[in-house]
Structure 1
Amino acid sequence: MTQRTGTDGAGTAAAAVDEESPADRRDAAAIGARVLRLRRERGLTQRKLAEPAYTAAYVSTLEAGRVKPSEPALRHLAERLGVTYDELATGRPAHLATELRLALTEAHGVLAAGDTADAAGRFADCLDRARRHGLTAVQPAALLGLGECALESGRLDLAREHFEEAERLQAGEPLPRRAAAVRGRAVAHLLAGELRYACYLLETAIDRLNESGLHDPDALLLLYSAAIGPYMDMGAHARAAQAAELALALAPGATDPALVAGMHRSVARTLIAEGRTAEADVSLAKAQELYQGLRLSADLAKCHWMRGYVHAQAGELERAESELRTARAMLASRQAALFTDQVEVELADVLRRRGRTDEAGELLGSLLGRIGPERGAVHAAGAHRLLGLIAEDRGDAEAAEEHYVNALSLLERAGAAGDLADLCRLLGDLLRRTGRVEAALDVYRTGLGHRAAPGTTTLGPAPAAPPLGAGGSRAARRA
Structure 2
Amino acid sequence: MSVSAIAALMTYRGEMTSAPAEPLGARIRRLRTGRGWTQRELAEPGYDRGFLAKVETGSRPPSEEMLAYLAQRLGLTVDELRFGRPPGVAAELRASLDEGYRDLEQGRVADAEARFADVAKQAAGYHLDDVECYARFCQAEVKWQLFDVAEAQRALEHAEELAAAAPPWLRAMIVHRWSGCRYLSGDAGTAIARVEDELAARPADPDAELCLLTALIHPLMEMGGLHRARQAAEDGRRLARAAARPDFVARFHRQASQVWQAIGRADRAAEDLTEAVRLFASVGFDRDAARCRWARGYFLRRLGRLDEARAELTAARDQLAAIGADEGVAGATLELAQVRVREGATEDAAALVSEVWPLLARDVEARGEATALRGHIAQARGDLETATRLLREAAEIQTGASLHGAAVSTALRLGDVLRQRGHLDEAIDAYRHGLDSAATDS
TM-score range (shorter-chain normalised) is: 0.7 to 0.9
The residue number in structure 1 matching 2:383 is 396
Q: C-alpha displacement at 1:149, in angstroms?
A: 2.4
Alignment of 1:18-167 (within 5 A): 30-31=23-24, 34=27, 54=49, 63=57, 65-69=58-62, 87-167=80-160
Structure 2 distance, partners of 1:89, 1:148, is 32
Q: C-alpha displacement at 1:62, in angstroms?
A: 5.1
Q: C-alpha displacement at 1:86, in angstroms?
A: 5.0
Runs of 5+ unmatched residues, structure 1: 1-26, 460-479
Query: Are 2:423 and 1:436 aligned?
Result: yes
The residue number in structure 2 matching 1:409 is 396
**Stretch moving more, 92-101 or 359-368:** 92-101
Is the 1:50–1:77 Cα contact (8 Å) retained in structure 2?
no
Query: Are 2:222 and 1:222 aligned?
Result: no
Alpha carbons of 1:151 and 1:396: their partners in 2 closer, same or farther (altered >3 Å)? same
Is the 1:428–1:443 Cα contact (8 Å) retained in structure 2?
yes
SS at match of 1:109: helix
**Stretch moving more, 90-99 or 246-255:** 90-99
Structure 1 distance, partners of 2:289, 2:189, is 28
SS at match of 2:287: helix
CA deviation vs aligned residue, 1:414-452 (integer Å, no higher than 9, x gap): 11000111111111222233233333332222211112x
CA deviation vs aligned residue, 1:125-147 (integer Å, no higher than 9, x gap): 11111112211121222222222
The residue number in structure 2 matching 1:419 is 406
Q: C-alpha displacement at 1:387, in angstroms?
A: 1.0
The residue number in structure 1 matching 2:369 is 382
Match of 1:178 among 171, 182, 185: 171
Q: C-alpha displacement at 1:290, in angstroms?
A: 2.0
Is the 2:129–2:165 Cα contact (8 Å) retained in structure 1?
no
SS at match of 1:368: helix
The residue number in structure 1 matching 2:323 is 334
The one-letter code matched in structure 2 to 1:178 is R
Percent identity at matched positions?
35
Structure 1 distance, partners of 2:225, 2:295, is 19
Is the 2:169–2:211 Cα contact (8 Å) retained in structure 1?
no
Structure 1 distance, partners of 2:212, 2:82, is 41
**Stretch moving more, 83-92 or 277-286:** 83-92
Alpha carbons of 1:321 and 1:90: their partners in 2 closer, same or farther (altered >3 Å)? same
Q: C-alpha displacement at 1:403, in angstroms?
A: 1.5
CA deviation vs aligned residue, 1:250-307 (integer Å, no higher than 9, x gap): 2222222222222221121012112333432222112222222222211211111011
Structure 2 distance, partners of 1:215, 1:72, is 33
Is the 2:192–2:219 Cα contact (8 Å) retained in structure 1?
yes
Is the 1:156–1:188 Cα contact (8 Å) retained in structure 2?
yes
The residue number in structure 2 matching 1:454 is 440
CA RMSD of aligned residues (A): 3.2
Structure 2 distance, partners of 1:223, 1:83, is 37
Runs of 5+ unmatched residues, structure 2: 1-19, 42-47
Is the 1:50–1:56 Cα contact (8 Å) retained in structure 2?
no
Query: Are 2:176 and 1:187 aligned?
Result: no
Is the 1:49–1:77 Cα contact (8 Å) retained in structure 2?
no
Q: C-alpha displacement at 1:111, in angstroms?
A: 2.5
Q: C-alpha displacement at 1:83, in angstroms?
A: 8.6
Alpha carbons of 1:339 and 1:174: their partners in 2 closer, same or farther (altered >3 Å)? closer
Alpha carbons of 1:103 and 1:237: their partners in 2 closer, same or farther (altered >3 Å)? same
Is the 1:28–1:67 Cα contact (8 Å) retained in structure 2?
no
Is the 2:223–2:404 Cα contact (8 Å) retained in structure 1?
yes
**Larger CA Rg, structure 1 vs 2:** 1
Aligned residues: 417
Q: C-alpha displacement at 1:177, in angstroms?
A: 5.8
Alpha carbons of 1:119 and 1:369: their partners in 2 closer, same or farther (altered >3 Å)? same
Is the 2:175–2:195 Cα contact (8 Å) retained in structure 1?
yes
Match of 2:268 among 273, 279, 283: 279
Alpha carbons of 1:408 and 1:305: their partners in 2 closer, same or farther (altered >3 Å)? same
Alpha carbons of 1:234 and 1:204: their partners in 2 closer, same or farther (altered >3 Å)? same
Query: Are 2:306 and 1:317 aligned?
Result: yes
Alpha carbons of 1:125 and 1:442: their partners in 2 closer, same or farther (altered >3 Å)? same
SS at match of 1:137: helix
The one-letter code matched in structure 1 to 2:406 is D
The residue number in structure 2 matching 1:351 is 340
Structure 2 distance, partners of 1:441, 1:412, is 18
Q: C-alpha displacement at 1:309, in angstroms?
A: 0.8
The residue number in structure 2 matching 1:467 is none
CA deviation vs aligned residue, 1:355-383 (integer Å, no higher than 9, x gap): 222121112123222213xx221121111
Is the 2:210–2:236 Cα contact (8 Å) retained in structure 1?
yes
SS at match of 2:201: helix
The residue number in structure 2 matching 1:241 is 230
CA deviation vs aligned residue, 1:57-112 (integer Å, no higher than 9, x gap): 957x954x554356798799989999987555323333321221221222223233
Is the 1:308–1:323 Cα contact (8 Å) retained in structure 2?
yes
SS at match of 1:280: helix
SS at match of 1:94: coil
The residue number in structure 1 matching 2:279 is 290
Is the 2:251–2:276 Cα contact (8 Å) retained in structure 1?
yes
Structure 2 distance, partners of 1:73, 1:378, is 60
State the TM-score, normalizing by the size of structure 2: 0.84
The one-letter code matched in structure 2 to 1:418 is G
SS at match of 1:160: helix
Structure 1 distance, partners of 2:161, 2:84, is 25
